[in-house]
């Protein structure tokens, strides 16, 4: 025999703030990836990306003439963000705020 809950109004499901934040971050990263793919098709890198003048402290890439948002590291192991573009800073902020917001939401639950 199955026990059913008493009949009553159906509660509307409201999305949690964490879910909305996660979706916002995912949307931002998807737009950054789309920007990267479109710019790859439009033009190639204007200069050699291994040129040391574009690498700050040996690990931060900043070339305002390069339209790419993500560039491969000179060592060939992984990718980094072009910090000379505003979208590069937006990606950094999204990656930092995501975990911090999740911690804050968990603490204030």
Q: What share of the chain is helix, strand, coil (3-state, %, to 5)?
A: 45, 10, 45
Query: Contact 67/39 with Cβ under 8 angstroms?
Result: yes
Per-residue pLDDT reduced to its tens digit, 52-77: 889 988 889 999 888 888 888 887 78
Residue with tokens 């990263």: 29
What is the C-alpha to C-alpha distance for residues 34 and 3, in angstroms, rounded to an integer? 50
pLDDT bin (cut points 50, 70, 90) of residue 83 is very high
Neighbours of 108 (CB within 10 A): 7
What is the C-alpha to C-alpha distance for residues 46 and 20, in angstroms, rounded to an integer? 38
103 vs 8, higher pLDDT = 103
Whether the per-residue pLDDT at 88 is higher than 70: the answer is yes
pLDDT at position 20 is: 80
């Amino acid at each position: 025999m199955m026990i059913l809950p008493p009949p009553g109004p159906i509660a509307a499901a409201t999305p949690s703030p964490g879910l909305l934040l996660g979706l916002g971050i995912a949307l931002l990263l998807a737009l950054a990836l789309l920007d990267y793919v479109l710019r790859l098709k439009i033009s190639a890198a204007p200069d050699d990306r291994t040129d040391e003048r574009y690498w700050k402290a040996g690990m931060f890439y900043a070339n305002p003439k390069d339209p790419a948002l993500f560039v491969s590291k000179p060592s060939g192991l992984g990718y980094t963000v072009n910090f000379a573009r505003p979208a590069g800073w937006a990606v950094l902020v999204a990656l930092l705020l995501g975990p911090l917001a999740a911690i804050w939401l968990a603490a204030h639950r």
